Chains A and B, each alone.
Chain A
Amino acid sequence: MSENTSKSHPARIVTVILVVAFWLAAIASRLVQLQVFQHEEFRRISTQRQQVTRPMPAPRGIIYDCRMNELARNVPSSTAIAEPCRIRDVDAAAGNLARILGLDPTELRTRMADPRKKAYLVLKRRIDPEAEDRIAELKLDGVYLEEGSMRVYPDRELACHALGFVNMNGDGGAGLELQYDKELKGIDGLASHDVDANRRSFRGQVLKPPVQGHSIVLSLDRDIQYIAERELAAVMDEYRAAAATAIVMETDTGRILALANQPAFNCNTYNSAEANLWRNRAVSDMFEPGSTFKVVVATYALEEHLTRPDELIDCQMGSIRIGGHTFHDVHPYGLLTFIQVLEKSSNIGATKLGMRLGQERLHGALVKFGFGAKTGVDLPAEIVGLVRNWESWSALSIGAISFGQEVGVTSMQMITAINVIANGGYRVWPHLVDRVIDSGGNLVRIPEPVKTRIVSPETAAAVSSAFEGVVLRGTAKSAGLEGYRAAGKTGTAQKIVNGQYSSEKYLSSFIGYAPLPNPRVTILVQVDEPKGAIYGGKVAAPVFQRIAQQALVHLRVPPDRTLPMPKPDLLRLASDSKDFIPGATPIPPITEAATDSGTGSDQGAIVVRVAEQSLVMPDFLGMSKRRVIDGCLALGIRLQSTGSGIAVQQLPAAGAMISAGETCRVTFARGSVARLQQVTISAGSQMAQSAPGVSRPASHP
């Protein structure tokens, strides 16, 4: 030690050095303890705090109509989440958040004070992008956004009962969304996130990618659906009815082209509609079918050879006594043929046919036609209706059932039953989903169609001719179409109120199909509690007429050449008009507010449809030159004709679209050449007229 240090106290300096050394050693051993021996433990603690696994919600499948229009899709949306335990000034934060999110500040304060929601409180779902930005600007610890997606129905009310909705948990809540929930849902993925102390992720790793749900392609046609809903709304308005239902079914296959109920609700805001409105009346409501039911009895009596179409049945001038009870007809009739019994809808005639069948066979007929059992339509909440076993029938049941009392049926059951007559004797399986596809558009599955022969083609044809008579001469003249032959049956049933048949509340219905002889569509129209008029022929048949007329043009069904040419505006596509589907919102609505607004005309672009008004090319084949010229003049299309005689060839083919002012070429020929050519060409045009995607049996009895 040098001279100057020796003056001080070496022992004290050594003490200080020793303390420092000891301290350093303590630190070193503490480091070893923490970083070597307790490393695993701290790694576990830190992983627990800093890594969270969060599910990656799988995008739900899309719902398309038959032309691949999106009826239900997903748009990204955020949910605002708060962790109140991490917010310093809850009161101020609640005030700010309430202002941005449009919530009630007092209520939000209460919610944020809830001790159970201390660590996770959903402030608001589906917040709009502007609010997202403003929340980010607040830079509040303990408030963050969770990315998600929400279901949007661009057409709002359109097909609401068929589509249903998705509830807040992301599960299907009604309609097809519920029925096909498993397929639409997909498989949620899993991601591991490195989060900061504010639970914000700053690095993420996908552990398991989400698998998008399958999409479903419906048989539903958005345009026909809209036509049906528009006409239902009009009839509701006209007759101040309580409710109305329409089903448009493809006759041969049971594919449902439209399923509409009024009143409707907006699928996007299903929660603000009364839950009562969510019910799909077409499959969940039961009613007494009334006279429409006579068809079942009569058809089966004919099938069992218990009557002939031309047999005269004594309708006993309007009254018959069964089991101590007298039944009456609305109008007293004497002798009516079998066909007339149906055309005039005689209760007595139907009862007599029912009695010929007897209880057991009548019950068997009901079961065969599908009553008392689910139709199997791919919709939830279908009911079986009410068909009591024949052994428990009373003496007068056979009469009552023959004209549609003492049984409970659904609209879906009724249209399926009448469709048996329309398609030549088959009971088909009504269904809405054509195919299930994956997110890449690959086919996953096609539901297996079911088709069972119930009655012979001859029986069906005989009853069908009676139905045509109903439209031509009978109770439903207002159901007649222009350019097409139609057939159908009216129904006017008294509703039961407090166990009594009501004299004020009726269910007016019409079930028909067109065009004969090979019907493409079967349509049910039902109006609940119309005021002012009650008869199906007056209330429901005109609705059938309007829906069928537009739907056939829409399906490019060429008008019947044996009938007078329809007026050109009847051949125009309804969807060509600018106000068609006015509620459609082509730009996805992002926020709740946007989906709330009823009129969507001010939102985004308007769907641009075909600018020119297009017409369906009529079938001129077999017509005289005079009639072809008249037809072309009426439609405003030019004619370029070659040859003379009857038309044997036309271009464009029947059912093709043509605009007013365009030219069509028609070749005429005479005699046997004409007949020969006509046969081959009409076979060709027959093929051409089937719309793509619509399977159609080559021939039909």
Chain B
Amino acid sequence: MAYRPTSDRILFITATLLTVFGLVMVYSASSTIAASKYGASSHFFVRQLAFAVAGYVMMIALMRTDYRVWERRQKALWWLLAVCLGMLVLVFTQPTVNGAHRWFRYGPLSFQPSEIAKLAILIFLASYLRKHESEINDLRRILLPCLALVGLFACVIAIEPDLGQAVCVLAITVLLLFIAGLSWVYIAGAALLSIPAFYFGVVCVPYRWERVRVFLNPFHDPLGAGWNVSQSLTAVGNGGILGLGLGDSRQKMFFLPEAHSDFIFAVISEELGLLGAGFVLVLFLIFFYRGLKITFRAPDRFGFYLGMGITLLVVLQALVNISMALSLMPAKGIALPFVSQGGSSLLLNLTATGILLNIAQYGEDRGQRTIQP
């Protein structure tokens, strides 16, 4: 294992491009609503910028910290999990915002503990899978404890309520278990279990079922339940190939709710057209490619699972968010990584990228640098 002081430049540049592009788009999408709500058009932008700076500090710090420290110091990992769970419980003491306890507020800043919990669980899973990779199908001794811990986190997050993050935690866990070789039997069992879960969790909860119906026919009730999705589709469609021009979105004039966070992709598509939307897709594709490359070169199984988890977490969130904006999936509150307004999400995505970049530094050189005959 050769130590490589230089990291993956392309991944670093990709994350930076996404972050900078995100800052520009957050300003564009949020200035009107910020001016009307807070009296300052840069309200969201300034906060996002502060978190970006903090994120880069974290990213560079973790880039220079051997990722294996998480593996070596199991105690620290458990403490991290305990703190995360504590924060997730404590967040219930916070006043509700939009009917949910999701954020700690301190002055002008707010922090979402579920974001850091996602990363903590990834580290836990990577460490757990490295140890128990071969026994993964041992239901009682290995699988259930792992699922119980993850399930506990997911439950607490779901009660906030923040179903999007909870599903995210569960999905990334299932994916990593799948890659680790989870038996098809369990997968089939989980699929069967999810049917009643879907029924009681979605069909029986009117507002969620409404979202599914809207997804199936977004223009059925464009002024009511279908408002968000139809406005988003209108924004994307109206953008055309070249877009209306940066800053010229019309849908952000209060038509699109959450134009600067959940539906920022719609604003990008409207202002910069197919080219801008394609640019974002390509950046995430590069992120996916470089992330996998780092993962496959990781010097150990811990690095492999951690890299895989971070890469998939970022890319899948991006895909889900974009699919929502394009009405390929029912609307759910998932941010577009690096781009959407939301400080904790940006901070944690940059931190995770820092870990990924650190893994890259220990990557095995498989001859790309050697001269081919």
Chain A proximity of B283: nearest CB distance (Å): 12
Closest to B273 in A: A35
Closest to A26 in B: B328
Bound Cα distance A16, B285 (Å):
14
Closest to A37 in B: B237
Closest to A86 in B: B223
A45: B residues at CB distance < 8 A:
234, 237-238
Within 8 Å by CB of B179, from A12, A20, A41, A197, lies A12
Closest to A43 in B: B238
A23: B residues at CB distance < 8 A:
319, 323
Q: Does B233 contact A (CB under 8 A)?
A: yes
Known: A41-B237, A49-B234, A196-B255. A36 touches B274 (CB 8 A): yes
Q: How many residues of B contact A (CB 8 A)?
A: 49
Check if A202 sits within 8 Å of B253, measured CB to CB: yes
Q: Does B258 contact A (CB under 8 A)?
A: no
Check if B296 sits within 8 Å of A50, measured CB to CB: no
Closest to B254 in A: A197
Q: Does B71 contact A (CB under 8 A)?
A: no
Q: Would you give the 0/1 interface string for B315-328, flagging 1 where the beta carbon is closer than 8 Å to chain A?
A: 11001001100101
Check if B181 sits within 8 Å of A8, measured CB to CB: yes
Q: How many residues of A contact B (CB 8 A)?
A: 39
Q: Does B241 contact A (CB under 8 A)?
A: yes
Check if B322 sits within 8 Å of A27, measured CB to CB: yes
Check if A24 sits within 8 Å of B181, measured CB to CB: no
Q: Does A13 contact B (CB under 8 A)?
A: yes
Check if B234 sits within 8 Å of A30, measured CB to CB: no
Q: Does A672 contact B (CB under 8 A)?
A: no
Within 8 Å by CB of B250, from A2, A30, A34, A194, lies A194
Q: Does B288 contact A (CB under 8 A)?
A: yes
Within 8 Å by CB of A28, from B175, B178, B255, B281, lies B281
Within 8 Å by CB of A24, from B180, B285, B299, lies B285
Chain A proximity of B198: nearest CB distance (Å): 20
Closest to A139 in B: B36
B366: A residues at CB distance < 8 A:
2
Bound Cα distance A31, B328 (Å):
11
B155: A residues at CB distance < 8 A:
none
A17: B residues at CB distance < 8 A:
292
Bound Cα distance A36, B238 (Å):
9
B269: A residues at CB distance < 8 A:
31, 34-35
Question: Which chain A residues in 292-320 approach chain B with CB under 8 Å?
Answer: none
Check if B296 sits within 8 Å of A35, measured CB to CB: no
Chain B proximity of A600: nearest CB distance (Å): 41
Q: Does B113 contact A (CB under 8 A)?
A: no
Check if B236 sits within 8 Å of A9, measured CB to CB: no
B32: A residues at CB distance < 8 A:
196
Check if A27 sits within 8 Å of B323, measured CB to CB: yes
Q: Would you give the 0/1 interface string for A3-32, flagging 1 where the beta carbon is closer than 8 Å to chain B?
A: 011011100110011001001101110111
Q: Does B115 contact A (CB under 8 A)?
A: no
Bound Cα distance A1, B288 (Å):
18
Bound Cα distance A4, B306 (Å):
14
Q: Would you give the 0/1 interface string for B127-164, flagging 1 where the beta carbon is closer than 8 Å to chain A?
A: 00000010000000000000000000000000000000
Chain B proximity of A41: nearest CB distance (Å): 7
Check if B312 sits within 8 Å of A16, measured CB to CB: yes
Check if B255 sits within 8 Å of A49, measured CB to CB: yes
Q: Does B301 contact A (CB under 8 A)?
A: yes
Q: Which 9 A-B pairs have the closest CB atoms?
A: A42-B237, A196-B253, A197-B254, A46-B238, A197-B255, A39-B240, A35-B274, A34-B237, A30-B326
Q: List 5 A-B contacts (CB under 8 A).
A: A2-B366, A20-B316, A27-B326, A34-B233, A35-B240
Supply 19 further A-B pairs (C-beta < 8 A) apart from A28-B278, A39-B241: A8-B180, A8-B304, A12-B178, A17-B292, A20-B288, A26-B323, A34-B233, A34-B326, A35-B240, A38-B237, A39-B240, A43-B238, A43-B240, A45-B234, A45-B237, A46-B251, A50-B251, A196-B32, A196-B254
Listed in ascending order, the chain A residues whose CB lies under 8 Å from chain B are: 1-2, 4-5, 7-9, 12-13, 16-17, 20, 23-24, 26-28, 30-32, 34-36, 38-39, 41-43, 45-46, 49-50, 139, 194-198, 202
